[in-house]
Structure 1
Amino acid sequence: MGKAGIKGLGMFVVPLMAATFGGKPSVGLVLPMLSMADVFAVNYYSRHAEWAYIKRLLPAAVLGVGVAIVVGQLVADSSFTGLIAVIIIGSLALLLLQENASFSKMLSGHWLGGAVFGAMGGFATMIGNAAGPIMAVYLLSTRIPKNAFIGTAAWFFLLINLFKIPFHIWVWQTINWHSFLADLIALPAILLGVFTGIRLVRLIPETAFRYFVIGITFIICIKILWGLSA
């Protein structure tokens, strides 16, 4: 549902999977599921994507993924939850700043805004598949329409998630045949979620969509922080 446009819902997965399987293993287990959902989201929303924003974000996102790979090799698995907490706290601050008109204009109108958010998104998505709030803040600052928001995010995450997979297989070794088979078992539920998300997005008015995204992202961030501190 999150990949189909109900942004923020996918963030529930982060603390639940980390608590069940451990920080680093959970990231590798979830990634193929997200990639499957990305494919369906891109297939439906592809024509709405704003490639100018994707081109701004991707180079720095690749750099962010590279930094995260190194960090992930250096820290213990238990430290992953702490890293995710830092990312979420930063996202909350950005959500508040983003409502400032001058700050919002600076993000969308300057290449540096795309570079900074791309790098943060790349780092966050490699460490914990937790870049949703970061990308939501940046794309909301552009004031692009609802379907363009979803299509742009869908393409960005499909490309960056496919880029991450080889590193999870051969560097972190968090994806293997056993984890991939578990992901395949989840495919029917992923299809159901995508279909449901597409239907629900149609019912959300354009004006309300922006505030819905901000609200749901804020709630999910609080939920994650609460789970990490428990």
Structure 2
Amino acid sequence: MFELFTYSLTYQQLSLLIVVAFFIGMAKAGVHGISMFAVPILALIFGGKASAGLMLPMLIMADLFAVKYYHRHANWGFLIKLFPSAALGVLIATFIGNTIDDEIFKQVMAWIIILSLGIMLWMETANKDKIPDYLWFAILMGMLGGITTMIGNLAGSVMALYLLSMRLPKNEYIGTSAWFFLVINVFKVPFHVWSWDTITVNSFSLSLLGLPFIALGIVAGIYIVKRVPDKQYRWLIIAVTALAACFMLV
């Protein structure tokens, strides 16, 4: 048994927490989608809402790594379009989280994952040139991104869909995404602390435990992106994440 402040974890649960931190690092290094697999793992251990608060500091740590390497490539014109509606989405999701119990919260997370997987599957086969790039689409994607990032830290696919529609070069895509998630994740912190009470000194200490493994995940992610065919690992992530989401619904 591993104990840290008010947490008593089995070594199996501690191992899964380390895996989650490792996956978060990999995701920020470019292995997109794998963080969706980390979400249900954490939710099964700690519950839906508590897991969202526990994961958020780990995401911010990883965001700082990503911004450090890609900050020069961000396109702030697109980010300015996203931030206002994303902030509104966070407020809507905060209200929703205060009105439902944890079991329903976890089921909402599972359905968001399944919807995100649907987006990922569609993006594998869609005609990218037909994705709209109008202002209303940016506002809609920003709001959906804000809602899904607050409920379960699950905005990756929504933001990928929007940034894909902007037809950004690879580094600009990564840099813009990195800045979006750093800013919006920091914006979410007060709502987790004072409204949901899901980030405390104890939970932050447990999140901080994942920092070395986030760094290792980033190193592994850079290696994988360079050497493993993109299509193979995307399909593996889709399959495994779908299985994990189904477990959350049972």
Give the TM-score normalised by the residue count of structure 2: 0.81
Judged with a 3 Å threshold, the aligned counterparts in structure 2 of structure 1 residues 89 and 12 are, in CA distance, closer, same or farther, namely closer
Residue deviations 1:126-178 (CA, integer Å, cap 9, x gap): 01111112112222233322222221111100000000001111111100111
Alignment of structure 1 residues 1-230 onto 2, 5 Å: 1-98=26-123, 99-101=125-127, 104-106=130-132, 109-203=133-227, 209=230, 211=231, 215=235, 218-219=238-239, 221-230=241-250
Distance in 2 of aligned mates of 1:110 and 1:216: 32
Distance in 2 of aligned mates of 1:100 and 1:116: 20
Structure 2 residue matching 1:2: 3-state secondary structure: helix
Judged with a 3 Å threshold, the aligned counterparts in structure 2 of structure 1 residues 171 and 229 are, in CA distance, closer, same or farther, namely closer
Verify the 8 A CA contact 1:9 1:216 in the aligned structure 2.
Answer: no
Verify the 8 A CA contact 1:11 1:220 in the aligned structure 2.
Answer: no
Structure 2: which 5+ residue stretches go unaligned? Answer: 1-25
Mean alpha-carbon deviation: is it higher for 28-37 or for 94-103?
94-103
Verify the 8 A CA contact 1:2 1:9 in the aligned structure 2.
Answer: yes
Judged with a 3 Å threshold, the aligned counterparts in structure 2 of structure 1 residues 216 and 149 are, in CA distance, closer, same or farther, namely farther
Verify the 8 A CA contact 1:22 1:77 in the aligned structure 2.
Answer: yes
Judged with a 3 Å threshold, the aligned counterparts in structure 2 of structure 1 residues 102 and 158 are, in CA distance, closer, same or farther, namely closer
Judged with a 3 Å threshold, the aligned counterparts in structure 2 of structure 1 residues 97 and 192 are, in CA distance, closer, same or farther, namely closer
Verify the 8 A CA contact 1:7 1:213 in the aligned structure 2.
Answer: no
Structure 2 residue matching 1:7: 3-state secondary structure: coil
CA RMSD of aligned residues (A): 2.2
Judged with a 3 Å threshold, the aligned counterparts in structure 2 of structure 1 residues 216 and 54 are, in CA distance, closer, same or farther, namely farther
Verify the 8 A CA contact 1:9 1:220 in the aligned structure 2.
Answer: no
> What fraction of aligned residue pairs are identical, expressed as a percent?
45
Alignment size in residue pairs? 224
Verify the 8 A CA contact 1:4 1:150 in the aligned structure 2.
Answer: no
Mean alpha-carbon deviation: is it higher for 219-228 or for 181-190?
219-228
Shift of 1:212: 6.5
Distance in 1 of aligned mates of 2:128 and 2:38: 33
Judged with a 3 Å threshold, the aligned counterparts in structure 2 of structure 1 residues 213 and 46 are, in CA distance, closer, same or farther, namely farther
Distance in 2 of aligned mates of 1:110 and 1:220: 34
Distance in 2 of aligned mates of 1:136 and 1:166: 26
Verify the 8 A CA contact 1:8 1:220 in the aligned structure 2.
Answer: no
Structure 1: which 5+ residue stretches go unaligned? Answer: none
Give the AA of the match of 1:87. Answer: I
Distance in 2 of aligned mates of 1:36 and 1:127: 19
